[in-house]
Amino acid sequence: MIYVDTSVVLAQLLAEDRRPPAELWVEPLVSSRLLEYEVWTRLNGDGLVRSHGEAAQQLVGRISMLELSPLVCGRALEPFPVKVRTLDALHLASIDFLRSRRVPVTLATYEDRMVRAAKALRFDVQPLP
C-alpha cells in the first residue's frame, strides 16, 4: 500500500514539472483525511476550484482515508527523531499507525523534509521522478 501525501496529489492535479508516474495511481493508495483538507484549502486559496475541483474530487476519492482519530493521531504527540512540522507529524503518525497494524506501507512524497523524517523512522519511501 502506498501512502500519498499532499505534495504528490497536488503535483498530479496541478500538472507541476514533476509528476508521479501513472503506475502510482493503479496501486492501493491511502492517506490521512488531512490530505483532503490540505488539497481543498490549496484549491480554494488559489482560486482553482472551478477548474480543478472535479479532478480533485475524483483523485481524492481514489484514496482510502484514515480518519484523524485520537488513536491515529496519538503518535503525533510524541517526539520524532527529527524536527517535523505539525501537518507532517500527523501524516507520519498515520503511517506509523498503519505500520503498527502490520500494514505494509510505503510513503510517496516530493517533500525532502518528509523523506528525511520517514527514513529516520525507518519507513519505506517510494522513489518519485
Phi, psi at 79, each rounded to 5°: -70, 150
Q: Residue 17: what pLDDT? A: 80
pTM of the model: 0.93
Running along the chain, 129 residues long, what does each successive block of 10 average in pLDDT?
96 86 94 96 96 96 95 92 94 96 96 95 94
Q: Residue 118: what pLDDT? A: 97
- What digits encode the pLDDT tens for the residues 5-38? 999 999 999 977 888 999 999 999 999 999 999 9
Q: Residue 98: what pLDDT? A: 96
Q: Residue 19: what pLDDT? A: 86
CATH architecture of 2-125: 3-Layer(aba) Sandwich (3.40)
Q: Hey, where are the domains in the chain? A: 2-125
